[in-house]
Amino acid sequence: MTQTAPSKRTQVGRLPKRGDYSKETIHGILDAAFLCHVGFVVDGQPFVIPTGYGRDGEILYIHGSAASRMLRNLEKGVDACVTVTLLDGIVLARAAFHHSMNYRSVVMLGTATLVEDAETKREALRIISEQIVPGRWDDVRLPNDQELKATTVLAFPIDEASAKVRTGPPADDEEDYGLDIWAGVLPLSLQPGTLIPDPRLKSGIDVVPTYRVGLQ
Amino acid sequence: MTQTAPSKRTQVGRLPKRGDYSKETIHGILDAAFLCHVGFVVDGQPFVIPTGYGRDGEILYIHGSAASRMLRNLEKGVDACVTVTLLDGIVLARAAFHHSMNYRSVVMLGTATLVEDAETKREALRIISEQIVPGRWDDVRLPNDQELKATTVLAFPIDEASAKVRTGPPADDEEDYGLDIWAGVLPLSLQPGTLIPDPRLKSGIDVVPTYRVGLQ
Ligand SMILES: Cc1cc2nc3c(=O)[nH]c(=O)nc-3n(C[C@H](O)[C@H](O)[C@H](O)COP(=O)(O)OP(=O)(O)OC[C@H]3O[C@@H](n4cnc5c(N)ncnc54)[C@H](O)[C@@H]3O)c2cc1C
Ligand SMILES: Cc1cc2nc3c(=O)[nH]c(=O)nc-3n(C[C@H](O)[C@H](O)[C@H](O)COP(=O)(O)OP(=O)(O)OC[C@H]3O[C@@H](n4cnc5c(N)ncnc54)[C@H](O)[C@@H]3O)c2cc1C
Ligand code: HEM
Ligand code: HEM
């Protein structure tokens, strides 16, 4: 167990017992998701942009167009915040006031760096792809040089980070437990539906893949 | 149809044909979700914090502790960004490069204001609750004055906003359509599981509610 102390800026303020700064927890949450929200500032205005990611050790990789404003700003090394949120359920208390959600979330602060080395860049794209659709990389037409050139990959450090987690049943006021109100948790999770074949799928390709996405 | 022109700051830069500035689209996305990511800046450092919300006309309401750092900063009227993201699927192309996601997202810029009027505040909390768990408000013990006092509600304007939406099958390079690779879309959606009764549920309460959450 590696217990990391929170930095001043990542100390969870409200309901601090839900805060967790261990690598186990932080990495566990980051590995169960693949979507983050990236915050950065342009001319004093914060922007929050949704983006996919993949984790490799202490690094989070993100990718996109070499012309993306988000990536072009981030690669300058501006202060950024990357947040990952997994919603696990709605907590139905007896009192409106005590309603809540069960969740696992991570907030990371830091600055991104451009991945320039060609081999690292290719590997980072594989890591992003495998995090989003495990197994897919082995089945597809891999990137060529032109595609790699059009793509920017950034590395974001996971070192200044906090997790916050809520689990379990509602916590009502003692006097409300006697009320005739149903209480409990409605679990929620991101679930895959039935694969929709491309209308232009080549005839003869009838082995439908079974990637595990969004089941954690 | 009300078509709003994008502001300079909300003009979608990459893949601009996926941008949409109509109220119909923006409100539709905001009504299909209840979770947002709020971006704000403290001492030059951006923070991105996940929070529930409810929409009422041109206003997004958020709530939390009167002592929350996020809310205390926002209520000062600092520049903020509120982003809502719905993930609809993973787009499996033949080329790794053309993989994508189907999604609906909204980015809003503006400054929040404190909801001070007691009636508006109570109504805003009802709107948040009904957006997250439609129907629940009528079944619960409503907030008392002490609870309302402990709660801060902020109003965020939806007027400077953009939507970005991707739907449909992959778009591969013409020469790749002949490859023996399965392609299509894996739909994803937030799905409710089986309700978990509170271990302290009062005996005799056996009518399990049927709220519709996370089905859009
Ligand atoms: C799905 C979901 C829904 C939520 N809905 C609400 C809501 O409706 N109202 C509400 O008040 N709060 C909500 N929260 C909690 C919210 O994210 C904040 O934790 C909360 O507002 C308290 O903020 P604060 O002022 O203590 O944090 P701050 O003092 O602003 O944060 C200080 C530091 O604590 C850490 N931190 C704060 N929040 C988180 C987090 N969620 N995950 C990881 N690290 C964190 C960060 O490092 C941050 O820099 C929700 C959280 C999740 C995951
Ligand atoms: C689920 C999901 C996953 C994504 N994954 C990736 C990824 O892995 N890589 C990647 O490059 N992009 C990803 N995107 C797209 C990403 O959100 C940006 O749109 C994209 O990076 C292009 O940014 P930009 O430089 O054009 O935007 P900017 O020029 O930074 O944005 C300009 C303005 O456009 C508007 N805008 C930009 N993006 C959005 C949006 N998503 N929704 C609403 N308004 C928006 C905002 O008003 C913003 O202020 C994803 C989006 C979603 C919803
Ligand atoms: C469906 C209804 C509601 C839901 C789903 C909901 C959800 C949440 C969530 C997820 C949090 C964050 C808890 C955390 O940080 O872990 C929160 C905080 C809070 N909510 Fe609500 N809420 C609801 C209704 C209300 C109402 C009606 C009130 C007031 C009357 C209220 C008052 C508060 C307060 C004061 C906090 C801050 C707690 C703290 O930081 O100490 N909520 N809510
Ligand atoms: C599972 C694998 C992948 C997924 C799920 C994925 C997902 C995405 C998504 C959702 C976007 C945003 C599109 C939009 O703005 O609407 C994007 C953009 C982009 N991706 Fe990927 N991607 C994957 C792999 C790759 C790889 C391997 C490369 C490069 C070889 C790549 C290069 C790009 C580029 C260049 C953009 C920017 C497009 C533009 O803004 O014009 N992606 N990706």
Q: Mean pLDDT, to the nearest integer, of A74-96? A: 97
Q: Which residues of chain B have pLDDT under 50?
A: 1-3
pLDDT digits (tens, 9 = 90+) for B66-111: 999 999 999 999 999 999 999 999 999 999 999 999 999 999 999 9
What local confidence, expressed as pLDDT, does residue B27 receive?
98
More confident residue, A141 or A14: A141
Ligand 1, residues at Cβ distance < 6 Å: A 9-14, 85, 87, 101, 103, 105-107, 162-164; B 35, 47, 49-52, 63-65, 68-70
Topology (CATH level 3) of domain A8-167: Pnp Oxidase; Chain A (2.30.110)
pLDDT band at A38 (very low <50, low <70, confident <90, very high): very high
Residue A116 phi, psi (nearest 5): -95, -40
- B46 with B39: CB under 8 angstroms? yes
| Domain-wise residue ranges, chain B | 8-187
Fill in the DSSP letter of residue B175: G
Which CATH number applies to B8-187?
2.30.110.10
What local confidence, expressed as pLDDT, does residue B214 receive?
75
Tokens of B14: 């990459």
Q: How many angstroms from the chain centroid is the CA of residue A41?
A: 20
Interval between CA B113 and ligand 4 midpoint (Å): 37
Cβ of A136 within 8 Å of Cβ of B92? The answer is yes
Using alpha carbons, list the distances in angstroms from residue B166 to A41, B79, B105.
25, 28, 9
Interval between CA A73 and ligand 2 midpoint (Å): 13
Specify the 3-state DSSP secondary structure of A160.
strand
Mean pLDDT of chain A: 95
- A81 with B48: CB under 8 angstroms? yes
Which parts of chain B fold into alpha helices (H)?
Answer: 23-32, 69-74, 118-132, 145-150
Kindly give, in sequence order, each residue whose CB lies less than 8 Å from that of residue A28, ignoring residues fewer than 6 positions away.
none
What local confidence, expressed as pLDDT, does residue A214 receive?
75
Distance from the Cα of A153 to chain B's closest Cα (Å) equals 13
Fill in the DSSP letter of residue A22: B
The two most distant CA atoms of chain A are separated, in Å, by 67
What local confidence, expressed as pLDDT, does residue A1 receive?
38
Number of helices (H), then strands (E), belonging to chain A: the values are: 4, 12
Q: Which of A165, A151, A193, A187 is nearest to A12 (CA)?
A: A165
Interval between CA A198 and ligand 4 midpoint (Å): 18
Global pTM value: 0.97
Spatial separation of the C-alpha atoms in residues A153 and A63, rounded to whole Å: 4
Q: Which amino acid is at B74?
A: L
- B46 with A80: CB under 8 angstroms? yes
pLDDT digits (tens, 9 = 90+) for A167-205: 999 999 999 999 999 999 999 999 999 999 999 999 999
- B15 with B2: CB under 8 angstroms? no
Percent of chain A with pLDDT over 70: 97
Distance from the Cα of B184 to chain A's closest Cα (Å) equals 4
CA contacts within 13 A on the Cβ side of B93? 20
- B156 with B55: CB under 8 angstroms? no
